[in-house]
Amino acid sequence: MDPAVTTRAQVVVVGGGPVGMLVAAELGHHGVSTVVLETNPETVDQPKAGTLHARTVQGLARRGHLRAQPAAGDGLSRRNADAFHFAGLPGLVITAPGTEPAPIYGRSQADLERDFEARARTRGVTVLRSHTVTDLVQGPDAVQVTAQGPDGVRQFTAEYVVGADGARSSVRDLLGFASETHPATVSALLGLVRLTDPYRVPSGWNRTPHGWTIAGVNPYGHSRFFTIDFRGPHPDRHAPLTLAELRSEAERILGHPVPMTDPVFFSKFNDFSRVVCDYRKGRVFLAGDAAHVHFPVGGQGLNLGLQDALNLSWKLAHTLAGTAGKDLLDTYAAERRPVARRVVDNTRAQLALMRPDPGLDPLRDLVSELLGVEGANAHLGNMISAQDTVYPARTSDGSPWEGHFLPNLPLTTADGPTDVIRLLLDGRPVLLLLGADEQAHRKQAESWSHLLRVVRAESDRQLPWDAVLVRPDGYVAWASDGGPLAGTLREWFGEP
Ligand SMILES: Cc1cc2nc3c(=O)[nH]c(=O)nc-3n(C[C@H](O)[C@H](O)[C@H](O)COP(=O)(O)OP(=O)(O)OC[C@H]3O[C@@H](n4cnc5c(N)ncnc54)[C@H](O)[C@@H]3O)c2cc1C
């Protein structure tokens, strides 16, 4: 490949893990010319994330990425709850409104990545695997990206770059993004192995005075087996893990022989945590693990990244189409960074509660007791599932609903039954008109009608407003109990 030839795109996504591929699929949907540069020649099947939490499920369903949607008008009285844990303590129940998909959706990270990649390719995105980004130079109007591909060095020019290149992000390092970090205090081992005496290994989350084992015991095949040692971080985290090491750690914690064979995957990790101080430097954004990492307790890391992707991509698409308000792209960091900090804090709190020191038993008992209190349980469930996410308001005279996620409402339109999930499938902001003042709202929105989906509908719910403007990611931008609609539209989508 002649290095003098430059490939142009509106957006280059560095890293085609699940987060990068979702950004690409969303940008492709909006017709943004996008190139993904990914080191791996194909998706790597590693036992990492397998849990999508409620807010991710709800966001992905609204963008058509999950088939987990309830039927229109379905489930009004359905109890929508899944059992989970907090710091390994049983009793947490994650609930979602009855009109939403089930709060927990199990799907491997690798399968999600494959799905998003397929969708990105179908939507015209160029995915270049076996391409590793080695350099990035920002100019005032564009970013130059250098990648090493199978045929040599290649150059790319993009208006914007999204660094979704994981925990060891080159984009972050090349541009010197500063980070807020907490050092590692524990060491964890993970193996996908055959347990040859499986009935002696406790299934699930198990604490002993010496640490934790977390096992998905499969007596007929490979089991996913974790250990957590609270005596300190690994002396050499990058030295490869061996079967003998995993076995000896399992036996130290459980206090009896844990025979295992046939390892197919090993990993060592710890609780080092990071949130970058800003998610943006000029034309370059970070998303997913490139922007934040933490201990994987509660299964929140991928969820955080996928919600970054859903937040950033429509803002990039509107900016590139010239239909963005001033500073729209800055709302990405303003909205997503506090959410990441809260997740880092909750994982650190959970890990503190997991320390095997018997002196913590009364605290664990107290938290278990609180899990039995409905309000406390709901508080923690909403935190782990990110259903408590509220973005900062942009307007001073806004509705109290501004920044909140609009729950799925069964609706009736002239075309028949529908709901909020379906109305958001085409990726446009939706102006939902439910009351008598319809014409006044239509008139204010007239100048933005080319980018809005304006829908007249009836709802059998008692709602505190008669019109609402929903962003493409499902959050409320405006409701009729706030200031003027035209002001909000100008703020988010610019002068018509
Ligand atoms: C053991 C374990 C269990 C976990 N369980 C959960 C869970 O249950 N739920 C959950 O939500 N999260 C979980 N996580 C966290 C989750 O795996 C990560 O948050 C997720 O992988 C982040 O996705 P990403 O796309 O941001 O980064 P990655 O998946 O790391 O993808 C980054 C991609 O960038 C590519 N890349 C890197 N550098 C370059 C470069 N210079 N040029 C081109 N490409 C590059 C890499 O090859 C990679 O494909 C777990 C993590 C671990 C370790």
Domain CATH number, residue 458: 3.40.30.120
| Predicted local distance difference test score (pLDDT) of residue 456 | 97
Number of domains in the chain: 3
Provide the 3-class DSSP secondary structure of residue 68. Answer: coil
Task: Check whether 74 has a pLDDT greater than 70.
Answer: no
Considering the domain architecture, whether residues 211 and 70 belong to the same structural domain is answered as no
Whether 356 is in the pocket of ligand 1, judged by its Cβ within 6 Å, is no
Considering the domain architecture, whether residues 285 and 322 belong to the same structural domain is answered as yes
Single residue among 247, 270, 293 that ends a domain in this structure: 270
Single residue among 384, 399, 431 that ends a domain in this structure: 384
By CB atoms closer than 10 A (0-12, 13-18, 19+), residue 139 is exposed
Q: What is the pLDDT of residues 356-372, one digit of tens each?
A: 999 999 999 999 999 99
For residues 108-132, average pLDDT: 97
| Nearest residue (CA) to ligand 1, atom 48 | 17
| Length of the chain, in residues | 496
| Predicted local distance difference test score (pLDDT) of residue 77 | 45
| Predicted local distance difference test score (pLDDT) of residue 412 | 96
Task: Check whether 335 has a pLDDT greater than 90.
Answer: yes
For residues 1-8, average pLDDT: 78
Whether 298 is in the pocket of ligand 1, judged by its Cβ within 6 Å, is no
Q: What is the pLDDT of residues 391-425, one digit of tens each?
A: 999 888 889 999 999 999 999 999 999 999 999 99
Whether 14 is in the pocket of ligand 1, judged by its Cβ within 6 Å, is yes
| Predicted local distance difference test score (pLDDT) of residue 394 | 87
Containing H/E element for 273? strand 273-276
Atom of ligand 1 nearest to the CA of 290: 26
CATH number of the domain where residue 321 is located:
3.50.50.60
Question: pLDDT exceeding 70 applies to what percent of the chain?
Answer: 97
Q: What is the pLDDT of residues 201-212, one digit of tens each?
A: 999 999 999 999
Calpha distance 378→375 (Å, rounded)? 5
Q: What is the pLDDT of residues 450-477, one digit of tens each?
A: 999 999 999 999 999 999 999 999 999 9
The per-residue pLDDT of the chain, averaged, comes to 95
| Predicted local distance difference test score (pLDDT) of residue 69 | 55
Give, to the nearest 10 degrees, the angle between helix 301-320 and helix 54-62.
Answer: 30
The pLDDT confidence band at residue 215, using thresholds 50, 70 and 90, is very high
| Predicted local distance difference test score (pLDDT) of residue 98 | 92
Whether 331 is in the pocket of ligand 1, judged by its Cβ within 6 Å, is no
Taking the centre of ligand 1 as the mean of its atom positions, its distance from the CA of residue 391, in whole angstroms, is 25
The pLDDT confidence band at residue 437, using thresholds 50, 70 and 90, is confident
Atom of ligand 1 nearest to the CA of 147: 42
For residues 311-337, average pLDDT: 97
Task: Check whether 110 has a pLDDT greater than 50.
Answer: yes
Whether 299 is in the pocket of ligand 1, judged by its Cβ within 6 Å, is yes
Considering the domain architecture, whether residues 235 and 377 belong to the same structural domain is answered as no
Whether 288 is in the pocket of ligand 1, judged by its Cβ within 6 Å, is yes
| Predicted local distance difference test score (pLDDT) of residue 413 | 96
In a domain, 132, yes or no: yes
- How remote is the C-alpha of 78 from its chain's centroid? 26
Closest CA to 387 of 108, 52, 85: 52
Whether 429 is in the pocket of ligand 1, judged by its Cβ within 6 Å, is no
Atom of ligand 1 nearest to the CA of 293: 19
In a domain, 167, yes or no: yes
| Nearest residue (CA) to ligand 1, atom 9 | 299
In a domain, 400, yes or no: no
| Nearest residue (CA) to ligand 1, atom 53 | 48
The pLDDT confidence band at residue 65, using thresholds 50, 70 and 90, is very high
Considering the domain architecture, whether residues 107 and 223 belong to the same structural domain is answered as no
Task: Check whether 439 has a pLDDT greater than 50.
Answer: yes
Residue-number span of the structural domain to which 458 is assigned: 410-493
| Predicted local distance difference test score (pLDDT) of residue 53 | 97
Task: Check whether 196 has a pLDDT greater than 80.
Answer: yes
Taking the centre of ligand 1 as the mean of its atom positions, its distance from the CA of residue 108, in whole angstroms, is 12
Considering the domain architecture, whether residues 370 and 253 belong to the same structural domain is answered as no
- Alpha carbon distance, N-terminus to C-terminus of the chain: 43
DSSP label of 475: B
| Predicted local distance difference test score (pLDDT) of residue 236 | 86
Mean pLDDT is lowest, of 155-164, 230-239, 244-253, 299-308, for 230-239
Single residue among 204, 235, 270 that ends a domain in this structure: 270
**CA atoms lying within 13 Å on the CB side of residue 230:** 16
Task: Check whether 88 has a pLDDT greater than 80.
Answer: yes
Question: pLDDT exceeding 90 applies to what percent of the chain?
Answer: 92
Considering the domain architecture, whether residues 297 and 152 belong to the same structural domain is answered as yes
Report the DSSP beta bridge partners of residue 40. none
For residues 341-364, average pLDDT: 98
Considering the domain architecture, whether residues 301 and 370 belong to the same structural domain is answered as yes
Whether 286 is in the pocket of ligand 1, judged by its Cβ within 6 Å, is no
For residues 82-106, average pLDDT: 95
By CB atoms closer than 10 A (0-12, 13-18, 19+), residue 237 is middle
Q: What is the pLDDT of residues 258-311, one digit of tens each?
A: 999 999 999 999 999 999 999 999 999 999 999 999 999 999 999 999 999 999
Calpha distance 44→216 (Å, rounded)? 20
